[in-house]
Amino acid sequence: FGEGGTSKSTNPKYLYKYTGNFDVTMHATNLAGCSCQITKRASATTGISSLANTSGVSVYPNPNNGTFTVANADNHGMKVEVFNVLGSRIYSKTSADGSLLVNLEDHAKGIYLVKVTVNGVTTTSKITVTN
């Protein structure tokens, strides 16, 4: 499965432990002894939308018009990064306190990921810009 896992199942399912791109190779042999193999590239991502927010980080309003607030309940300094759906970082700023106003009005409407790091703990939230 590209990460070291194997399966002899007819319909294998594999849960990746890490995000990234992996080369997955399938080897098949029929009853007559003929065999073949094929390799495909697979991408494994985390289920960000399914993670519970236990870090005290808030991103609001969501959806928004390109301007939104990132805050943390402990009022600690934080680093805020915003990524587009292609994975390019389009915004990065460090705040000494627990609140930061982010302005993406010059960017296209769509889905963005907001990565917030507070005291070495990182939280990622999905936002929608509808400008």
Dump pLDDT digits (tens) for 94-122. 999 989 999 999 999 999 999 999 888 88
Give the pLDDT confidence score for residue 96 in this predicted structure. 93
Cα→Cα distances 30→6, 33, 39, Å: 18, 5, 18
pTM: 0.59
**Which residues in the chain belong to E strands, given as ranges?**
20-29, 35-44, 57-60, 67-72, 78-83, 89-95, 99-103, 110-118, 121-129
The pLDDT value given to residue 52:
43
Q: Answer for the pair 70, 102: CB distance below 8 angstroms, yes or no.
A: yes
| Position 40 confidence tier, pLDDT thresholds 50, 70, 90 | confident
